[in-house]
Amino acid sequence: MSEEKRKIIIDTDCGSDDAMAIAMALNDERYEVIMLTTVSGNVRLKQATYNALTTLKVTDSYYPPVYMGCDEMLVRDWVGSAETHGEDGMGDLGLVDYDLKPAEGNAVIKMLEALRDNPEKTIDIIALGPLTNLAVAIRLDPETMKRVRRILVMGTAGLGTGNVSPVAEFNIWQDAEACKVVLKSGIDPLIFVGWDACLDDAMLTPDEIRMIRESGPLGGFCIDSNVVLMEMNKGRFGDYYLDMADPSAMAAALYPECIDKCDKYYCEVDTGEGPSYGGVLVDFYHFSGKEPNAYICSKLKPEIYKEYMYRTLKVR
């Protein structure tokens, strides 16, 4: 008898690395992506939605509904990350299809409905952007959100340094108040894949990038949409590397064999006015004496992770 597919919801601010992560999930036959929910982050909500729809079209695996969620952050203003992913979030190369249409219905409501309509602990939420949609869902109906099997987030600096400030990583920093709601929700397990997990040997090298680009239309789309990030990385890391944050998180979620270090800590996010806004304090040495509330995945096994990425992007 064939095993039932595990259901997942992908919450995304679809930029270029989200697109790659979404394609990976759609091509892993052990899972069923039951919906994509979009949120402002890398780009504003509408653009993120077109980008997600374009990704479904290019991947051409199957077509889960794409629901639009929050356009505004909980408290602060949206900032975005044009310098990292381009104005359109997809490298500004004209890759986005603006004729595609999202499904009717609000992402937060649809997420809650799915959790209510399915047996408890059968749906995973994988969040690849700011946590605004999740926070609103928790505020609306905390008990229903606890029916989730687990929430895995690409977010935090892990045990390392930030990518938008010395301590903060973009997804958390863009809406730290939302992260606070999620951290205090009591949802368990809550897993954060830190930015440090996609650095060092987990980055794609120029040769690996070439190989993916030349593998076919999907590989070409995944790499071309990341040109702005690649250019930025030439300055940051000395060559055309790609730090693939969302694909790392997706691999950790769907193929845990690639995880090297993931431990539970007491975590708290800074929502103050100072320079560490959006930084997540990871109580590594247990100074606070407080119960650990979240897992931090800070290291992947690069070979296993990349092998999974190549397989699901149909590189080889």
Q: Is 182 in the site for Ca ion (CB under 5 A)?
A: no
Asked if residue 38 binds ligand BDR (CB under 6 A), the reply is no
Is position 163 an interface residue for ligand BDR (rule: CB under 6 A)? yes
Tell whether residue 88 is a contact of ligand BDR (CB under 6 A).
no
* DSSP assignment string, 196-254: GGGSGGGSBPHHHHHHHHTT-HHHHHHHHTTHHHHHHHHHHHSSS-B--HHHHHHHHHH
Of the candidate spans 93-101, 167-175, 203-211, 270-278, the one that interacts with ligand BDR by CB under 6 A turns out to be: 167-175
Interface mask toward ligand BDR for 244-273; x: CB under 6 A: -xx---------------------------
Beta-carbon contacts of residue 36 (< 8 Å; ≥ 6 apart)? 9, 10, 11, 12, 14, 22, 52, 56, 64, 65, 66, 67
The reply to whether 125 sits near ligand BDR by the rule CB under 6 A is no
Give, as ranges, the residues between 282 and 311 that touch ligand BDR (CB under 6 A).
none
Task: Return the residues of window 231-250 that contact Ca ion according to CB under 5 A.
Answer: 246
Residue from 58, 68, 111, 128 touching Ca ion (CB under 5 A): that is: 128
CB 37 within 8 A of CB 110: yes
Kindly state whether residue 233 participates in binding ligand BDR, applying the rule CB under 6 A.
no
Question: What's the rounded Cα separation, in Å, for the pair 252 and 178?
Answer: 22
The contact mask relative to Ca ion for 9-38 (x = CB under 5 A, - = no) is ----x----x--------------------
Query: Does residue 158 bind Ca ion (CB under 5 A)?
Result: no
What are the strands of the beta sheet with 123-127, ordered from one edge? Answer: 66-68, 31-38, 6-12, 123-127, 150-154, 190-193, 294-300, 259-265
**Identity of the amino acid at 61:** S
Rule CB under 6 A: say whether 241 interacts with ligand BDR: no
Q: Is 169 in the site for ligand BDR (CB under 6 A)?
A: yes
Nearer to ligand BDR, 292 or 302 (CB): 302
